[in-house]
């Protein structure tokens, strides 16, 4: 990582340069897109062929030999999965400065992590369509949640079938979910790996409220942990998805009144919907939805939290969950569908006709022998429900086939080869060959870089000490400690005279340093303006945040201060408004003249997207529109 010295390093960092297991160069963004206790996730900038991948970089203290060996084992033992995105395995080792640093993996396609669906109220971050689809108060919403549980169980089942892996640390944060219900399990480098009864690599961590009773006696680093541990974890996960709270939530009484944490109640087997419900002073209402589950689903939960408390082998396997979740429906699911269907299709005129028919049926039924009342109507209703269920099943199948055909062009053929597997050429002539940019590629020989075409013909001499990747047809080159810019035809568009240079941004501007002065230049090398501020951000909607002497304002693309340095902090502009903090520490939204369009009164704010922004006031999150009205 190469910071921009003298500007405080606000957003000006050179990309992090890395190499994969085949010593091909990668560049990732310095700013991470996700972070955990062990490391951070970074977006790949170069090469474009790895657009669908990300890199996990470990912290310095985690970059040890045993970690590298574990990653290499995972790469060599990626199981065959029905959906390659259901569990995200490492696919290549990553090196920095010649040493092990992390790994390459597919980018999980899910828009949100599972925590957004595991609380009583769905997260405000979710769009309205998600709230409707996964509404716990509707039978269809609960059906969608059961489908989501099935997808998770299916992924676990495939991993457990290998007889090698136990996840151990499973929690909602480690599962990405898409609107369709497709899931991706991430952060699996902490998984436990065994060969029969031999522990090859231990689990790195656990989360207590998702861990079974035996966790209190386990030596994580040395004990062999089998899949019965995961069976408990996924049951907790499914309970939270379906009911919005942890399965052991509740207030105990008597000898258990001192137990407040979920892990304490797990240790005692205090499941509020089980035999020990009598030991609860208060059982939260959401637990009552347990009664609406199909009998087989309720039994699986009881087998896990009751029988499995004493004998882990009784906890239902992922395979058992799959079998029972595949076609599971909450109580009255078909009846609800029938009601909605009938409500939508029945006009006011047909309703009157229905009343007339019902009246005639009532008169006719009054003369029938006792015991047959309502039989005809029941038979009709049962027939309609069966027909409707069959029709919905066929319609669902048709939609799935259409979706696959639209995505891949052929229902039966799905391409497995990616650009990442493309072979490099000219490797025998040079010590290193980079990825192609259009029809040119950087090559390295005897410590010097040059540019060649696909036919192997030289475009530039092998004379550069360092070269950057091409972005928008331009690349940074370095020679004798000075930087300049080259286009994809091999022409130096600027002299190599800068002590620092950054790639051209989307606006065609590049940051450079010459004679101890930072400036922006255009793509012809002409100076646009000198930077007279401590820090500036990237440009959004034609303006950039400027910092000087602890105050914040905005400059335009010619360097003019268009909004004075009058705020404590600010966010970039989005949809014509930017978040800004006043002198009292409150956030509001300013327009491009610098005036507050929305009064500063919030503790925290997001940016506007599709006409609304998430804000926080007095500990409560909610959305507002561009006039400041609560949505």
The CATH topology of domain 426-529 is Lipocalin (2.40.128)
- The fold for domain 16-106 equals Phosphorylase Kinase; domain 1 (3.30.200)
Number of Cβ within 10 Å of residue 144's Cβ equals 19
* pLDDT single digits (tens) 254-313: 889 999 999 999 999 999 999 999 999 999 999 999 988 999 999 999 999 999 998 999
For 385-412, what is each residue's pLDDT tens digit? 655 555 555 555 455 445 444 443 433 3
**Does CATH number 2.40.10 belong to domain 535-624?**
yes
Q: Is the pLDDT of residue 373 over 70?
A: no
Tell me the pLDDT band of 362, cut-offs 50, 70 and 90: low
Per residue in 445-470, pLDDT (tens digit) is 888 999 999 888 999 999 999 898 88
Domain ranges of the chain: 16-106, 112-325, 426-529, 535-624
As separate numbers, helices (DSSP H) first and strands (DSSP E) second, the chain gives 11, 36
Question: Looking at per-residue confidence, does 490 or 354 come out higher?
Answer: 490
From the list 537, 619, 609, the residue with the least C-alpha distance to 571 is: 537
Place of tokens 């408390």: 309
Q: Is the pLDDT of residue 7 over 60?
A: no
Residue linked to tokens 């520490």: 585
> What kind of architecture, by CATH, is found in domain 112-325?
Orthogonal Bundle (1.10)
509 closest CA partner among 474, 477, 478: 474
pLDDT at 471: 85
Q: How far apart are CA 623 and CA 616, in angstroms?
A: 9
CA 595 – CA 585 distance, rounded (Å) = 17
Nearest by Cα to 317 from 235, 218, 199, 203: 235
């Amino acid at each position: 990582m190469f910071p921009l010295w003298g500007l405080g390093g606000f957003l000006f960092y050179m990309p992090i340069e890395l190499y994969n297991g085949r010593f091909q160069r990668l560049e990732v963004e310095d700013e991470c897109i996700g972070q955990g206790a062990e490391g951070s996730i970074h977006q790949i900038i170069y090469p474009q062929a790895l657009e669908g991948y990300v890199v996990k970089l470990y912290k310095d203290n985690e970059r040890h030999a045993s970690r590298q060996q574990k990653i290499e084992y995972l790469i060599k033992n990626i199981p065959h999965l029905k959906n390659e995105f259901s569990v995200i395995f490492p696919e290549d080792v990553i090196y920095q400065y010649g040493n092990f640093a992390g790994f390459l993996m597919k980018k999980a396609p899910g828009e949100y992590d599972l925590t957004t669906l595991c609380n009583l109220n769905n997260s405000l971050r979710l769009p309205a369509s998600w709230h409707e689809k996964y509404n716990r108060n509707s039978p269809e919403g609960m059906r969608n949640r059961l489908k989501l549980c099935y997808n998770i169980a299916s992924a676990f089942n495939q991993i457990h079938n290998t007889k090698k892996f136990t996840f151990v640390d499973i929690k909602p944060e480690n599962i990405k979910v898409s609107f369709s219900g497709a899931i991706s399990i991430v952060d699996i480098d902490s998984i436990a790996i065994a060969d029969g009864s031999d522990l090859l690599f231990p689990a790195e961590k656990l989360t207590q409220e998702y861990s079974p009773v035996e966790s209190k006696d386990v030596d994580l680093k040395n004990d062999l942990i089998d899949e019965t541990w995961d069976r408990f974890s996924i049951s907790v996960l499914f309970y939270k998805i379906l009911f919005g709270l942890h399965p052991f939530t509740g207030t105990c009484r008597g000898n258990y009144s001192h137990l407040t944490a979920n892990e304490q109640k797990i240790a005692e087997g205090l499941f509020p919907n089980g035999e020990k419900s009598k030991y609860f002073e208060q059982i939260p209402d959401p637990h009552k939805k347990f009664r609406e589950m199909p009998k087989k689903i309720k039994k699986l939960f009881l087998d896990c939290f009751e029988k499995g408390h004493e004998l882990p082998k009784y906890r239902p396997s992922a395979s058992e969950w799959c079998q029972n979740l595949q076609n599971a429906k909450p109580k009255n699911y078909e009846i609800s569908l029938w009601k909605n269907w009938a409500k939508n299709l029945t006009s006011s005129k047909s309703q009157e006709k229905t009343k007339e028919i019902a009246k005639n049926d009532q008169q006719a039924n009054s003369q029938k022998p006792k015991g047959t009342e309502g039989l005809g109507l029941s038979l009709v209703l049962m027939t309609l429900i069966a027909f409707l269920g069959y029709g919905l099943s066929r319609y669902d199948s048709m939609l799935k086939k259409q979706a696959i055909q639209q995505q891949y062009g052929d229902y039966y053929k799905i391409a497995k080869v990616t650009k990442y597997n493309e072979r490099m050429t000219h490797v025998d002539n040079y010590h290193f060959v980079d990825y192609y940019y259009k029809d040119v590629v950087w090559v390295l020989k005897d410590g010097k870089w040059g540019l060649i075409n696909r036919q192997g013909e030289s475009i530039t001499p092998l004379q550069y000490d360092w070269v950057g990747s091409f972005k928008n047809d331009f690349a940074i080159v370095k020679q004798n400690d000075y930087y300049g810019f080259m286009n994809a035809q091999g022409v130096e568009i600027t002299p190599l005279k800068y002590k620092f240079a950054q790639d051209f941004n989307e606006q065609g501007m590049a940051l450079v340093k010459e004679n101890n002065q930072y400036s922006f230049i255009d793509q012809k090398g002409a100076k646009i303006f000198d930077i007279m501020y401590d820090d500036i951000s990237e440009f959004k909607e034609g303006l950039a945040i400027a910092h000087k002497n602890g105050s914040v304002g905005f400059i335009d693309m010619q360097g003019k201060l268009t909004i004075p340095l009058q705020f404590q902090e600010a966010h970039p502009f989005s949809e014509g408004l930017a978040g800004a903090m006043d002198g009292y520490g409150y956030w509001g939204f300013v327009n491009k003249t610098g005036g507050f369009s929305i009064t500063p009164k919030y503790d925290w704010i997001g940016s506007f997207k599709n006409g609304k922004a998430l804000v926080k006031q007095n500990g409560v999150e909610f959305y507002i529109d561009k006039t400041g009205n609560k949505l």
